[in-house]
Amino acid sequence: MAAVIENTVHPAFEKLRSHRISTLNVTVEEYRHRKTGARHLHLAADNDENVFFVALRTFPMDSTGVAHILEHTALCGSERFPVRDPFFMMIRRSLNTFMNAFTSSDWTAYPFASMNRKDFDNLLTVYLDSVFFSSLDPLDFAQEGHRLEFDTPDDPSTDLVYRGVVYNEMKGAMSAPTSQLWQNLSSHLFPTTTYHYNSGGEPDHIVDLSYDDLLRFYRHHYHPSNAIFATYGDIPAHEHHERFEELALKRFDQLDVELPVRDEKRMFSPVRVDQSYAVSEGEDTGQKTHIVMGWLLGHSFDLQENLEGQLLASVLLENSASPLMRALETTDIGQSPSPMCGLEDSNREMTFVCGIEGSDPDKQDDLEALIEQTLAKVVEEGVSEDRLEAILHQLELHQREIAGDSFPYGLQLIMTAISPMVHGGDPVELLDLEPVLADMREKIRDPQYVPGLIRRKLLENPHRVTLTLRPDDKLESRRQAAIRDALARRKASLTDEEVRQIVERAQALEERQTRKDDDSILPKVDLTDVPLQLPEPESRFAGDMPATIYARGTNGLVYEQVILPVPNLTEEELLLLPYYTTLIPEVGCGDLDYLQMQDRISAESGGVSASFSAKGKI
């Protein structure tokens, strides 16, 4: 049964457009809130797992982690729900299929999903209040962000230390060499835009963020004029609008939100950078250097540019038979290809990265020469059309497949659409793949198409950074000594009043953390809100074999799992069983253009069962 498309439009909103995507079984509806300019993307679908998502464009221009800390702090109580932890308290009072919040490099989002309408409404009430009317208690900032505290909180004779949830989280995250590698490379590929900075926060900079800085960032960024609402499911858009308006939007006016949203200024000559990362003191530093090369490419939210970038990455790096990956795996310049190899398309502009780990600092010239020679050879020899067809099939499968990260189906669709909405692109284009995929199939027939991409996007692209990240076994000790010295000077300058405030804040934090809040002010569902029966799936028969069939918008893909009893097989026959893939076409997948298969064999009482899973395009 197709989703019913409601034509009713709430008076507070104007409808911008409607676009049907048959392969997803959704109708994309775009709206704008008349008073504030807030945008709403609604994916109308015949699916009772309704999803809500609100994103705020957040473009920090420093590495204090303000957006990350704000994401944590906003969920620590709000105007209608002044309890310390409404987010986690609602997990126990809800039938949600997903609840979370996360900070990207250029947006912060608060999503949830539920299959129960009352539960959905409850969560919407809590989420909108948390986002737009957050309490932002100074104690929560101290807890979630950072604070100065005595090592023994009630003993001023002990050393001063830094504490805080995000501060400690990022100390752990940024201790990994790969995190430092990516952050250092990004900071040089993006010298002037928000991606130059660590949106999660650098520990040495997090401690510079003040509570007043947090409040200013919240007032400027957490406003409906800067918000993107997105919903998915069978609740009509006008019902969402009624709730948005009543719970939040009617209390706001238009705000002129100035955000640094622009492309990076292009470099006219490649850059080389030499930096260090910390290893344990006394550790052998030989052959522990990372050397990577990164290029800045086009817009990630332009599907044509995005697919071209993914095509390049697949041609060059997909597996050991790919020319660039083979060169990186077989060279004696380093021990193995860098884990950074590939295309990064989560930012406004994409980056292509390749390199090695387990090398030495003086191998930088050798690596650049190896990569340039390999790319030039691919340009000269070209790539066979059969190879490109196979890669494009895999890219199409990857683009079409809506799965991964345990996200609900609707949330995955919304996550696909959010980047163009943040950066001014067209969300429908990222969801409606057919036109661009058809164009790509025509382009790969030209033998000069891929060589031209390699030449234009890599060999002749001067916006390139070569980063050498070498180990330093003294770096961490120098950093810790600097922190200790700074804290010692800070302690020596404390007045008696400041000492008292630090001790009292630690006591207040402990009391707040141990206080039992009255959770009765939060909405909840009970047994009367839960249906007694689940809807029955449609069952059909393919020949003599029973089949349970679920109709869903799966972006043109068919998913099939077949389980068959196969008793009394010898050990040799069991080993051959995974290759008997003809079992799947026999039960209905014979018309697939291509498919990917997984198989599983497990022992059961009385024999053996074989489970075959496949996905493919009709």
For the residues of 93-149, what is the DSSP string, one character each?
A: T---SEE--EE-SSEEEEEEEES-HHHHHHHHHHHHHHHHSB---HHHHHHHT-EEE
Catalytic residue among 29, 49, 71, 396: 71
Q: Is 71 a residue of the active site? A: yes
Query: How far is C-alpha 369 from the chain's CA centre?
Result: 34
Angle between the N-to-C axes of helices 66-74 and 211-221, in degrees from 0 to 180, rounded to the nearest 10: 80
Q: The tokens of 523 are what?
A: 């909405």
Integer angstrom CA distances of residue 145 from 150, 166, 199, 203, 210 = 16, 5, 13, 10, 10
Nearest to 294 by CA among 319, 267, 333, 321: 267
d(CA 387, CA 453): 16
Cα atoms found within 13 Å of the Cα of residue 226, Cβ hemisphere only = 24
d(CA 342, CA 355): 10
**Main-chain dihedrals φ then ψ at residue 320, nearest 5 degrees:** -65, -15
Query: How far is C-alpha 554 from the chain's CA centre?
Result: 21
Integer angstrom CA distances of residue 114 from 51, 78, 198, 247 = 7, 22, 33, 19
Q: The tokens of 326 are what?
A: 């083979």
Nearest to 589 by CA among 558, 563, 611, 564: 558
Q: The tokens of 320 are what?
A: 């050991």
Nearest to 221 by CA among 195, 249, 258, 192: 258
Residues 76, 117, 549, CA angle at the centre, nearest 5°?
120
Q: The tokens of 154 are what?
A: 């009630």
**605: amino acid identity, one letter:** S
d(CA 333, CA 40): 51
- 20-24's contacts with Cβ under 8 Å and 24+ in sequence apart are 21/428, 21/431, 21/432, 21/553, 23/400, 23/432, 23/433, 23/434, 23/553, 23/554, 23/555, 23/556, 24/402, 24/413, 24/431, 24/553, 24/554, 24/555
**11: amino acid identity, one letter:** P
d(CA 329, CA 322): 10
Q: Would you say the C-alpha torsion 540, 543, 546, 550 has a positive or negative sign?
A: negative
Enumerate the active-site residues: 71
